[in-house]
Amino acid sequence: MDFQYAPAPESRSVVDIRSSYGLFINGAFVDGRGESFKSVNPATEEALADIAAASAEDVDAAVRAARHAFDTVWGPMPGRERAKYLFRIARIIQERARELAVLESLDNGKPIRESRDVDVPLVAAHFFYYAGWADKLPYAGFGPDPKPLGVAAQVIPWNFPLLMLAWKIAPALAAGNTVVLKPAETTPLTALLFAEICQQAELPPGVVNIITGAGDTGRLLVEHAGVDKVAFTGSTEVGRAIARAAAGTRKRLTLELGGKAANIVFDDAALDQAVEGVVNGIFFNQGHVCCAGSRLLLQESVAEEFLESLKRRMASLRVGDPLDKNTDVGAINSSAQLARIRQLSQIGEDEGAERWSAPCELPSRGYWFAPTIFTGVTQAHRIAREEIFGPVLSVLTFRTPDEAVEKANNTPYGLSAGIWTEKGSRILHIADKLRAGVVWANTFNKFDPTSPFGGYKESGYGREGGRHGLEAYLEH
């Protein structure tokens, strides 16, 4: 039977997008001195707005505004007062949640179901959580009188634009730092709406500065001599360059970088649940997730049965309009990312892996990639080693638990991993052996402000979220 869904679009009229946006420096929007660029809706290729690009002078102005706010207002302010500003921000995010969700889906291409039910609620929760820490820092376990670092330079990626902003700004402000944040070039709009939220909350000028631009602007920001702390989420390649640039400066550094997570399914797993988990693990957010379960490790005895169920489930995924409430998989964020996904998928085929894509009709305009799996993948294949950052799953098999652990750990990354088995002692044993910062057992891609997130090895250092997330912003 063929089930048809009527279109169920979320109204985009809840959000007003201005034709152009400036930089948010010292509490006001100002013109950028760089060459402006356009932010594009990846589902339609339509330009959404003109975005200012920050020049070296603009970056300098933003850092000076942050320093001044740190020295005169935010640094000296009692924690209980800082807390109330953060609670205010959390509340305004809740009040304007739908507006933020629609804007996020327009600018990023992710399904409204995810921006509305995952991203934006987590953003509000994150500010709410860290608000409560602002006046309780001596209880955080980093000494009796922990001090803020000063000005934090923060550079975030395009996959969870507003959520990554929250992960960066909430703990920094709670700890008493001021920030200059640069959103990704392709997804600046929710950060700019957040700047308006700071104005509504009457956050003192200069405490939060948002500057837009491409990689050059980011480099100017993290290399600016006036910042005390650099926090970056993005690719391992750029993270490495930032670590090199910060060498010898004594700037504090936290990096949340790439991943190639193993999702391990044992033969005694609840297979239907595991199929759901594997689908969520790789196709959530179009696979634009650093902790995505992009390597599926199947125990040989159930591999065939599992793959059949997985393909059946993938065939029912609805790919298309991000603003449609029934959409499961939205648009690829940019043409550049689409090109990379296509290139690595082609390499997968060329190297001899077998490709299968869900039979789905893709819209004619915009950037799209059908949910895809590769079977017959070996550890030497590039699609088993490199982060694809798209809806592409590489399937490997194993016979024994030891082999599963060895394969799972055979990567320079170490961000996350998944375990599917009904045997509790096995979960705990395997979780101990996996070199990864987050281990999801019989679930995947769960996030919470109280739960620290971050990687081992080349997935970066430092943790975001939870009590541990404060450490990155405190002198101790």
Residues labelled as active-site residues = 256
CA distances 330 to 40, 334, 453, Å, are 15, 12, 25
322/466 with CB nearer other proteins: 466
CA distance 411 to 400: 19
Query: Binding segment for other proteins among 311-319, 341-349, 367-375, 432-440 (CB under 8 A)?
Result: 432-440
17/245 with CB nearer other proteins: 245
Query: Binding segment for other proteins among 102-110, 131-139, 286-294, 460-468 (CB under 8 A)?
Result: 460-468
Q: Which of residues 227-246 bind other proteins (CB under 8 A)?
A: 236, 239-240, 243-244, 246
CA distance 85 to 297: 46
Q: How far is CA 369 from the centre of its chain?
A: 19
Two tokens, residue 144: 């009796």
Residue 120 and residue 446 in contact, taking contact as beta carbons nearer than 8 Å: no
Which string of DSSP letters, residue by residue, matches 210-267? E---SHHHHHHHHT-TT-SEEEEES-HHHHHHHHHHHTTTT-EEEEE-----EEEE-T
Report if residue 453 touches other proteins, rule: CB under 8 A.
yes
Q: Which amino acid is at 74?
A: W
Which residue of 96, 168, 182, 463 would you call a contact of other proteins, by CB under 8 A?
A: 463
Minimum distance from residue 334 beta carbon to other proteins (Å): 26
Measured in degrees and rounded to the nearest 5, phi and psi for residue 392 equal -130, 125
22/460 with CB nearer other proteins: 460
| 166 contacts: CB under 8 Å, gap ≥ 6 | 122, 123, 126, 127
β-pairing verdict for 252-256 and 460-461? antiparallel
Report if residue 125 touches other proteins, rule: CB under 8 A.
yes
Query: Binding segment for other proteins among 317-325, 329-337, 369-377, 466-474 (CB under 8 A)?
Result: 466-474
102/227 with CB nearer other proteins: 227
Report if residue 30 touches other proteins, rule: CB under 8 A.
no
30/439 with CB nearer other proteins: 439
Residues 127-156, mask of contacts with other proteins (x by CB under 8 A): --------------x-x-------------
Which residue of 412, 422, 423, 429 would you call a contact of other proteins, by CB under 8 A?
A: 412
Which residue of 468, 470, 472, 473 would you call a contact of other proteins, by CB under 8 A?
A: 468
CA geometry: angle 37, 42, 121, nearest 5 deg? 100
Q: Cα(first)–Cα(last) distance of the chain, in Å?
A: 63
CA distance 83 to 19: 34
Q: How far is CA 79 from the centre of its chain?
A: 28
Q: Which of residues 315-344 bind other proteins (CB under 8 A)?
A: none
Residues 71-110, mask of contacts with other proteins (x by CB under 8 A): ----------------------------------------
Q: Which of residues 433-452 bind other proteins (CB under 8 A)?
A: 434, 436-443, 446, 448, 450-452
Helix (H) or strand (E) holding 439, with range, is strand 438-441
Report if residue 255 touches other proteins, rule: CB under 8 A.
yes
32/465 with CB nearer other proteins: 465
Which string of DSSP letters, residue by residue, matches 102-143? HHHHHHH---HHHIIIIIHHHHHHHHHHHHHHTT-GGGSSS-
199/442 with CB nearer other proteins: 442
Report if residue 474 touches other proteins, rule: CB under 8 A.
no
Minimum distance from residue 131 beta carbon to other proteins (Å): 15
11/244 with CB nearer other proteins: 244
Burial of residue 157 (CB within 10 Å: 0-12, 13-18, 19+) is buried
Which residue of 10, 104, 321, 471 would you call a contact of other proteins, by CB under 8 A?
A: 471
Is the torsion defined by CA of 389, 210, 198, 231 positive or negative?
positive
Minimum distance from residue 297 beta carbon to other proteins (Å): 18
Report if residue 217 touches other proteins, rule: CB under 8 A.
no
- Tell me the number of residues near other proteins by CB under 8 A: 43
Report if residue 426 touches other proteins, rule: CB under 8 A.
no
Q: What's the number of CA atoms in the CB half-sphere (13 Å) around residue 183?
A: 31
| 171 contacts: CB under 8 Å, gap ≥ 6 | 130, 133, 464, 469, 470, 472, 473
Residues that bind other proteins (CB under 8 A): 125, 141, 143, 236, 239-240, 243-244, 246-248, 250, 255, 257, 412, 427, 431, 434, 436-443, 446, 448, 450-454, 456-458, 460-461, 463, 466, 468, 471, 476
